[in-house]
Amino acid sequence: MDNNGLALKAFSMERYNGGIAVKRQYGSSTVTKFLIEAADGRSVFVKAFGKTPGERKTFALREATKLFAAGRVLAPFTKAGV
């Protein structure tokens, strides 16, 4: 998968049942929220859909790549008091 040269890390934050509408659209009712961080400190939250945890992580990384390319990300994290 091409991440436009970005080194990305995915952290699962929350998993929940999205209901029947999500199941019809994505094949599974499970929704996982991921925090995706780039090596340069930028990050983005993404909802991911899929039947297996691996499919949901791949979905999240693909969506995050699109958001990073569009510039729709959170500012880099900074340590308090620094």
Going residue by residue through the chain, which has 82 residues, state the pLDDT in tens, using 9 for 90 and above.
455 567 899 999 999 998 998 888 888 888 999 999 988 888 899 999 988 999 999 999 999 999 988 887 776 655 555 4
Distance CA 78, CA 25 (A): 38
pTM exceeds 0.85, yes or no? no
Asked whether residue 37 is assigned to any structural domain, the reply reads yes
Q: Which two tokens stand for residue 55?
A: 């499919």
Assigned token pair, 42: 């930028």
Decide: helix, strand or coil at residue 48. strand
Q: Is residue 2, in this structure, part of any structural domain at all?
A: no
Overall domain count for the chain: 1
Question: Measuring CA to CA, which residue among 22, 2, 14, 1 is closest to residue 45?
Answer: 14
Residue from 23, 37, 49 nearest 77 by CA: 37
The predicted structure's pLDDT at residue 42: 85
Residue 19 lies in a domain: yes
Give the pairing of strands 8-17 and 43-49: unpaired
- Domain containing residue 12: 8-70
In a domain, 77, yes or no: no
